[in-house]
Structure 1
Amino acid sequence: MLGVIGGSGLYDLKGLNIINEHEVKTPFGAPSAPILEGEFSDQKILFLSRHGKGHQFLPHEVNYRANIFALKKLGATKVFGVSAAGSLREEIKPGDLAMPSQYFDHTRGQRDYTFFGNGIAGHVSTAHPVCPALSGDIESAAKRLKLDIHTGKSYGCVEGPRLGTQSESFFLRDQAKCDLVGMTNVPEVFLAREAQMAYSTVCLVTDYDCWMEDPSQHVSVEKFFEVYGGALNKAQDLLAELLKSPLTETPDSIRNSLAASILTPDEAISEEQMHWLNVLRG
């Protein structure tokens, strides 16, 4: 089943026929909002608002672990993320859609980055953090809609909530070789891999961050809202088209990513920890 995580401005999903609303308790606290179970394009999906109802949580305040764990516990095996991003490349224009395949973590350690620790040692490979099968399905859906989407891009994740300096923008663009900048995909993408879930995000490009010399092109909340609505409609159309065809099976390297990643033997893991670990392994 597909889990959809909506970013800024996407607090519910237009066209979602809601079947159930789940208040999920997790060992990692509460998710950002109740998870909606429903039908969209005749397919059952789960929907979660990343920032909560009415945008309650700043990026570093989002309980990413609870969000991913709750979706997995309810049966999601794939995650389609939607998030706003700034462009660090002139050819990626405001209003465009883009899909990262790589991530550069430029956050500051305020977030809970892993399910592991406190007695469980695990090291999951994230050399290729995005699911190629799910990304390929999304790209195919975009082609059927004749919708342009930039693929294979690198996303630099910053801490926020402030908007970045021009020096930081140049660093991400020129030294880290990032194409996009945002505040929310880390650690979400890495937690999905620890939960053995396929993950891919569609970024809605709202601005040119602040690397351009022309200050009228720099990111602002006002500019964000000018562009975001149109890009959001494209993303919802893309999701509807994606669900019209069966999704490609997730590669074994993702579905079994924990098989050789946990160093702590099962007999050394407490019963309580084994309970949630088995959810991730499921």
Structure 2
Amino acid sequence: MSVEANELIEPVIGLIGGSGLYDIEGLEDKEWRRVETPWGAPSDALLFGRLDGVRCVFLPRHGRGHPIPPSELNYRANISAMKQSGVTDIVSLSAVGSLKEELPPGHFVVIDQFIDRTFAREKSFFGTGLVAHVSVADPLCPRIGDVLETSARGLGLPVTRGGTYIVMEGPQFSTRAESNLYRSWGCSVVGMTNMPEAKLAREAEICYATVAMVTDYDCWREGHDAVTVEEVVGVMMSNAENARNLIRAVIPVLGQGRDPCWAGCDRALEHAVMTAPAARDPEMVSRLTVIAGRVLDRT
């Protein structure tokens, strides 16, 4: 989707549901559709519909029924499918472990930073034949973050604005030494899924924000038993209804017509492409038409 400085945008809200969120209630004109991408198949079909008249696209990150582990997710296909579907704004919902006493299970955190400790995932749409470097100094859209914080507080949800999400490879939970290391770095929560998802959304010029939903204290806390799947799932299910309420509150606000994002997320590729036109691989150019066509067409 092309974004020009004088163009009023009709937002399309993308929702990526993490563990425990496999559907969006209340959508009208619901339709599950398969979307094929140049990067392969996304995690599942995408659910298209409208909420309060706002166009929405939902993707269960791990697929319905949770068959796909974090390291095997096709992150490029997931974000490309969102872009191909016209999505302008993504709200990512993720289950996480807490690394701070003041962020107990059931707490929501509107993240503003990441540390990416993953190592087994494709992290960019670009590569040999078409090189680009986007800035991810501030990897999350503060405009969406403002709406999430205000809406959560309006619902009376326990929420903290700001925090660092350290993304580990998984699928195992942290060792106690790792958990304490992450705490020493000042991290707020730990999870397995938001990288490279956020980086790819930035490359695709989609505004992206994360709501991290705390399910446990990881394993650092004295007197807190080692994390088990059973306890994580229990809190995760109780978080899900709050997440659904938050989604219903946020979408009408984000769905209002607006100018281009004041944070510049939708123009991230403006000066990012490094490869000269004559040196570009035609196959790469073709694959990247949906992601980067806005800037490739001009050079």
TM-score by length of 1: 0.94
SS in 2 for 1:185: coil
Identity of aligned residues (%): 40
The one-letter code sitting in structure 2 at the alignment partner of 1:238 is L
* 1:195 matches 2:207: no
Match of 1:180 among 182, 186, 189: 189
The CA distance in 1 between the partners of 2:32 and 2:281, in whole Å, is: 31
Q: Deviation at 1:280?
A: 1.5
The range that moved more, 109-118 or 16-25, is: 16-25
2:262 and 2:237 mapped to 1: Cα distance?
34
2:232 maps to 1:212: no
Q: Who is 2:94 aligned against? A: 83
List gaps (5 residues or longer) in structure 1.
Answer: none
Q: Secondary structure at the match of 1:72?
A: helix
Distance in 1 of aligned mates of 2:290 and 2:262? 19
Q: CA deviation at 1:18?
A: 4.3
- Find the partner of 1:241 among 249, 256, 269: 249
1:14-33: CA deviation from partner (whole Å, max 9, x where unpaired): 22234432211111111000
- Provide the residue aligned with 1:127 in structure 2: 137
Paired residue secondary structure (2:170): coil
Which of 244, 267, 270 aligns to 2:278? It is 267
CA distance in 1, matches of 2:186, 2:29: 41
Instruction: Give the structure 1 partner of residue 7 of structure 2.
Output: none
Cα shift readout 1:130-179 (whole Å, capped 9, x = no counterpart): 001011111121122232311111000011101110000001111x2100
Q: Measure the CA separation in 2 of the matches of 1:276 and 1:143.
A: 42
- 1:228 has 2:236 as partner: yes
1:9, 1:18 → 2: CA distance?
23
Name the CA distance, whole Å, in 1 between partners of 2:196 and 2:277.
26
Aligned to 1:138: 148
Give the TM-score of the pair, scaled to structure 2: 0.89
How many angstroms does 1:117 deviate by? 0.6
In structure 2, what is the Cα distance between the partners aligned to 1:41 and 1:206? 30
CA contact (8 A) 1:18 1:36 kept: no
- Alpha-carbon RMSD: 1.5
Higher mean C-alpha deviation, range 31-40 or range 268-277: 268-277
The range that moved more, 233-242 or 248-257, is: 248-257
Report the residue type matching 1:11 in the other structure: Y
Is residue 152 of structure 2 the alignment partner of residue 171 of structure 1?
no
- Deviations, residues 227-276 of structure 1 (Å, cap 9, x unaligned): 11221111110110112224565236211111111101233323432233
Give me the whole-angstrom Cα distance separating, in 1, the residues matched to 2:33 and 2:108. Answer: 30
Separation in structure 1 between the aligned mates of residue 80 and residue 278 of structure 2, nearest angstrom:
23
Q: Secondary structure at the match of 1:186?
A: coil
1:158 maps to: 168
For this pair of structures, how many residues does the alignment match? 279
Residues 182-218 of structure 1, C-alpha deviations (whole Å, 9 max, x = no match): 00001001100000111101111000000012143x3
Distance 1:56 1:137, change over 3 A: same
Taking a change above 3 Å as real, the CA distance of residues 193 and 210 of structure 1, as seen in their structure-2 partners, is same
SS at match of 1:244: helix
* CA drift at 1:46: 0.2
Separation in 1 of the partners of 2:102 and 2:144? 24
| Structure 2 contact 130–281 (Cα < 8 Å) conserved | no
Unaligned residue ranges in structure 2 (runs of 5+): 1-11, 295-299
Secondary structure of the equivalent of 2:212? strand
Structure 1 residues 172 and 252: alpha-carbon distance in aligned structure 2, compared to 1, 3 A threshold:
closer
CA deviations over 1:68-120 (Å, ceiling 9, x no partner)? 0010011001111111000000000101111110000112x210011111311
